[in-house]
Amino acid sequence: QEKKRLSYEQKLEITEHSFAKKILEIAIEKRSNLIASADFITTQELLNFADIVGPHIVALKTHIDILNDFDADETILPLKDLAAKHNFLLMEDRKFADIGNTQELQFSYGTFKISNWADLITSHVIGGSKSLDCFVNAGIVAILGMSSEGTLTDSHYREEALKIIENHPNIVGCVAQNKVPDNILLFTPGVNLGTSGDGKGQQYNSPEHVIKNYNTDFIIVGRGIYKADDPELEALRYKTEGWQAYQDAL
Ligand code: S5P
């Protein structure tokens, strides 16, 4: 018999990191494994979207540096309120990729002061293990493999990256398009029910495909939801499909 995946409850027991525990607790409570990617260029759209899909998601993933009108008071304060109101985590998809000292500066200073508000941050591991020591008081979601066509994250890269990911205490999980060991939470983007690509290299699979084949813990959906005519209805559809696929895999 094929080995079944671990449940979120089982993962909660084996995980050490406080942000890994948090996202698992939210998943169990909301019966959701959905992360919405909110790739908006205005604060108003970002906040509206967060309020609408908030009840259905475990985390909202941002690219805070694409906002045309970012303002700490006008953007971050209401966003934090919405995260508290609807109980979701804030995941800043910064994809750090530098030496430790530079990442430390990028994490806490400049316009966005990510360390002040992000629960989870994404980071490449290309700078080596020590470069990740700076990410304290947040959970790192490390980039193991990318979803885009022609990515350089080949099997050799991923093998070496996984050694770093498995051994760094600040890491809660990774972004990948393949199975990973049970003690690392798996976040999979490149999820869309309507299309197989975007003409710009992005490659899509269904929630069912990634959850069944990679044992994905959390699906990350961007345009599939925020470009829909009714984003709330679409969020519910991805949430339902994602949860059903998870239950079927247990
Ligand atoms: O390999 C990756 C890693 C990430 S974090 N592929 C991705 O697409 N992402 C991000 O997920 C990407 O930056 C975008 O914010 C989101 C996917 O958006 P969509 O509109 O293609 O669903």
Euclidean distance between CA atoms 71 and 117, whole angstroms: 13
Euclidean distance between CA atoms 35 and 238, whole angstroms: 10
For ligand 1, is residue 222 a contact (CB within 6 Å)? yes
Of 2-16, 28-42, 46-60, 66-80, the one with minimum mean pLDDT is 2-16
Of 239, 169, 237, 223, whose CA–CA distance to 61 is shortest? 223
> Which tens digit of pLDDT belongs to each residue from 90-121?
999 999 999 999 999 999 999 999 999 999 99
Euclidean distance between CA atoms 13 and 2, whole angstroms: 22
Q: Which atom of ligand 1 is nearest to the CA of 146?
A: 1
> Which tens digit of pLDDT belongs to each residue from 175-208?
999 999 999 999 999 999 999 999 999 999 999 9
Binding-site residue positions for substrate: 39, 61, 147, 202, 222-223
pTM: 0.98
- What's the gap in Å between 1 CA and the centre of ligand 1? 34
- What's the gap in Å between 70 CA and the centre of ligand 1? 21
Q: Are strands 120-124 and 89-96 parallel, antiparallel or unpaired?
A: parallel
* pLDDT > 90? residue 160: yes
Residues marked as catalytic = 93, 95, 98
pLDDT at 209: 98
- What's the gap in Å between 191 CA and the centre of ligand 1? 9
Tokens encoding 133: 């020591």
pLDDT band at 2 (very low <50, low <70, confident <90, very high): low
Q: How does the average pLDDT of the chain come out, rounded?
A: 97
Q: For residue 92, list its beta bridge partners.
A: 62, 121
pLDDT at 1: 57
Determine which residue's CA is closest to atom 15 belonging to ligand 1.
37
> Which tens digit of pLDDT belongs to each residue from 200-247?
999 999 999 999 999 999 999 999 999 999 999 999 999 999 999 999
Q: What is the mean pLDDT of residues 18-38?
A: 98
- What's the gap in Å between 93 CA and the centre of ligand 1? 9
Top mutation candidate among 34, 39, 41 for ligand 1, by most atoms within 8 Å of CB: 39
pLDDT at 227: 98
For ligand 1, is residue 144 a contact (CB within 6 Å)? no
Euclidean distance between CA atoms 49 and 64, whole angstroms: 14
> Which tens digit of pLDDT belongs to each residue from 127-140?
999 999 999 999 99
